[in-house]
Amino acid sequence: TGICVHWQVTARCFDSFGGKKRARLIEESKKKRKRYGGGAQGKRPSSDGSDEESMPLPNPMVGFNLPGYRGPSMTRVLPELATGPPYFYYENVARAPKGVWAKITRFLFDIQPEFVDSLHLCAAARKRGYIHNLPTENRSPLLPLPPKTIFEAFPHYKKWWPSWDQRTHFNCLQTCTASAPVTERIQQKLSSSGNPPPQSVQKYVRHQCSKWNLVWVGKDKAAPLEPHEMEYLLGFPKDHTRGFGKTQRYKSLGNSFQVDTVAYHLSVLRDMFPNGITVLSLFTGIGGGEVALHKLGIHMRAVVSIEICKANRKILRSWWDQTQTGTLIEIDDVKSLKDDEIASYVHRFGGFDLVIGGSPCNNLAGSNRHHRDGLEGEHSSLFYDYFRILNSVKSAMANM
Ligand code: SAH
């Protein structure tokens, strides 16, 4: 299955690899609509989840196109309600419990998510879904292109890398890293076996290395990536998160955007806004969106940023003061941002050009099984604040 099984009636179905599947997909999507009673147009956001369907993830997870892609260009026709201004860009983990993406899609004007694994753009996997109303033609990647394999990124690790560990990419960079007992156990197992170690030991070690994204830093010695290495893989400037404890840095980095991926999608804004843009940034974290815009050479005249974590706010502020000349306004909690305040920012900045954010995935992501209660979970339900605030901006801008 492809990315457009549930594609809008108004949108043209697009198969990023060749177009052969197109007719079949349109057929399938027609059948689905029938089965679920009514077209996408008629669907209204509902919170009971009764008519949820799971959304098949595309394989390969390449989104609508990739840098260097030379296929036919894709034109999608968005429903009128979905078009800007403002442009908006929403992100979350691709693998969410059943029905979550279908529901997010329904709230966000039935725009189909663009699922991308950052593996195709850098040396670490990161499977994410992006719902946005940006044009998808004439995108351009950040240059220089980031290293695409582990050894391209970190050639010095070749020295101790065993031939039986054949990873070329890291798995998704997470908010937690391996504790000392994990790496100690690896060392102990390896030093008490021959070279090469028996299959069972190899298998165990390979599994731990993939799971925790370990690198080989000495004889039999595997270690977690350092925060500065994560910054590099994720496309942040060196020392972006420096000055905070390691636990905080891993947490902030593990939650962040992969900058090159997001920049590729946002690159279309450069020609549209030669005089810069105003941004409403929800769940800003350490500013993956802002760093992407900056690296694209897009001037941010003003950013209104909402981020609850104080360390993240400090990280953004210090980066901003070093690199930007525009206005940065920082707000703590999306819940506290109400219509009147939104309207006053809209008035003050003449509207927002971009509303960007990825709401917390704590109740959605796989590693957190105990609280995997979907979109209604304590953290994930903040998606509804994204939706609420976006609509509030739209109506304030309509009244400008
Ligand atoms: N895209 C960001 C990270 C998003 S992770 C980046 O590039 O770094 C989600 C973020 O939402 C986290 O940083 C978390 O601290 C923040 N958050 C959680 N609850 C929030 C709330 N109620 N209001 C604002 N931000 C919140």
Q: Write the pLDDT tens digit of every residue in 247-297.
A: 999 999 999 999 999 999 999 999 999 999 999 999 999 999 999 999 999
According to the model, what pLDDT value does residue 6 have? Answer: 30
The verdict on 230 and 271 lying in the same domain is no
Note the pLDDT of residue 10: 27
382 lines ligand 1 (CB under 6 A): yes
Is 285 among the domain residues?
Answer: yes
pTM comes to: 0.86
pLDDT reported for residue 119: 96
The answer as to whether 313 is a domain residue is yes
271 and 213 in a common domain: no
Are 260 and 339 members of one domain?
Answer: yes
Q: Is 176 a catalytic residue?
A: no
The segments of the chain whose pLDDT lies below 70 read 1-54, 70-74, 363-373, 377-378
Output the pLDDT for position 73. Answer: 66
Q: Residue 27: inside a domain, yes or no?
A: no
**What pLDDT was estimated at residue 381?**
82
Q: Looking at ligand 1, which residue's alpha carbon is closest to its atom 16?
A: 283
Residues 194 and 218 in one domain: yes
Q: Which of 249, 255, 303, 362 to mutate to test the pocket of ligand 1 (most atoms within 8 A of CB)?
A: 255
Residues 93/364, Cβ–Cβ less than 8 Å: yes
Q: Which of 132, 131, 103, 130 is nearest to 44 (CA)?
A: 103
Q: Is 380 found in the same domain as 356?
A: yes
Closest to 356 (Cα-Cα) out of 228, 226, 266:
266
Query: For 166-179, what is the HEC assignment?
Result: CCCCECCCCCCCCC
Contact between residue 13 and residue 22 where contact means Cβ atoms under 8 Å apart: yes
Q: Which of 241, 244, 251, 307 to mutate to test the pocket of ligand 1 (most atoms within 8 A of CB)?
A: 307
pLDDT of residue 361: 78
Residue-range definition of the domain harbouring residue 211: 150-234
Does residue 319 sit in the same domain as residue 265? yes
Residues 107 and 178 in one domain: no
Q: Tell me, what's the pLDDT at 363?
A: 61
Query: Strands (DSSP E) along the chain, which ranges?
Result: 87-93, 114-117, 127-132, 214-218, 221-224, 277-282, 300-306, 327-331, 354-358
**Residue whose CA is closest, atom 22 of ligand 1?**
333
Distance CA 116, CA 125 (A): 10
For residues 140 and 154, state if they share a domain.
no
CA angle 70, 74, 77 (to 5 degrees): 170
Q: Is the CB of 2 under 6 A from ligand 1?
A: no
Q: What is the CATH number of the domain that holds 317?
A: 3.40.50.150
The number of the ligand 1 atom at minimal distance from the alpha carbon of 288 is 7
